[in-house]
């Protein structure tokens, strides 16, 4: 009986630990705003009706990708979401339908 109880506790701890350290992602939706621009909206991770549009970002296509290659939704990290929310981010769509986001580089302050 102690063995079964220990096994149940171990499984419960493992499940809690793995869910606590799960990657924090947000789903984004990409729609065509123009030939070279995409409208990006975010959706709450639990599916609540709490979505908001982040804006319109330039979009580039690599590896023979086209608008037909773009998936409707992507799960992105908090860093990628922050980059998309900033002005100047560029979305690149790859041939496999995946995306990469390049954020604008912060300019260095001028030397005095």
- Digits of tens for pLDDT over the chain (112 positions)? 666 655 565 555 555 554 445 568 888 999 999 999 999 998 765 555 656 888 899 999 999 999 999 998 999 998 898 899 888 899 999 999 999 999 876 555 555 5
Residue boundaries of the structural domains of the chain: 21-102
What pTM, to 2 d.p., does this model score? Answer: 0.68
Q: To which H or E segment does residue 96 belong?
A: none
Phi, psi of 45 (to 5 degrees): -55, -30
């Amino acid at each position: 009986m102690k063995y079964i109880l220990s096994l149940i506790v171990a499984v419960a701890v493992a499940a809690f630990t793995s869910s606590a350290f799960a990657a924090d992602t947000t789903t984004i939706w990409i729609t065509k705003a123009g030939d070279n621009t995409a409208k990006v909206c975010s959706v709450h991770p639990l599916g609540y009706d709490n979505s908001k549009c982040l804006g319109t970002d330039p979009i580039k296509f690599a590896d023979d990708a086209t608008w037909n290659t773009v998936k409707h939704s992507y799960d992105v990290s908090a860093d990628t979401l922050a980059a998309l929310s900033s002005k100047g981010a560029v979305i690149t769509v790859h041939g496999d339908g995946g995306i990469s986001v390049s954020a604008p580089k912060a300019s260095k302050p001028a030397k005095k």
